[in-house]
Amino acid sequence: MAEPDTVVQDLAEHFGLDRTSIWSLCRRYEALGAAAVWDAPRSGRPPRLSPPAARPG
């Protein structure tokens, strides 16, 4: 099995992210499970488009 640092470096290069971002996502995944991949709710103005209108295509 590959070393964790090697895997993180490979993932960072593949996705164009910093290694710190990959490690943070790994920690979130360990704490929250699959829900970690979804963005958390954010403050700010709500979207102006209804969900059907916001869909591309």
14 or 40, higher pLDDT: 14
Whether pLDDT at 15 is above 90: yes
pLDDT top residue among 38 and 16: 16
**Residue-level pLDDT at 12:** 95
pLDDT tens string 20-43:
999 999 999 999 999 888 877 888
Q: Is the pLDDT of residue 57 over 80?
A: no
Q: Write down the pLDDT at residue 26.
A: 92
Helix/strand/coil (H/E/C) assignment for every residue in 1-57: CCCHHHHHHHHHHHHCCCHHHHHHHHHHHHHHHHHHHCCCCCCCCCCCCCHHHHCCC
Domain boundaries, given as residue ranges, for the chain: 4-36
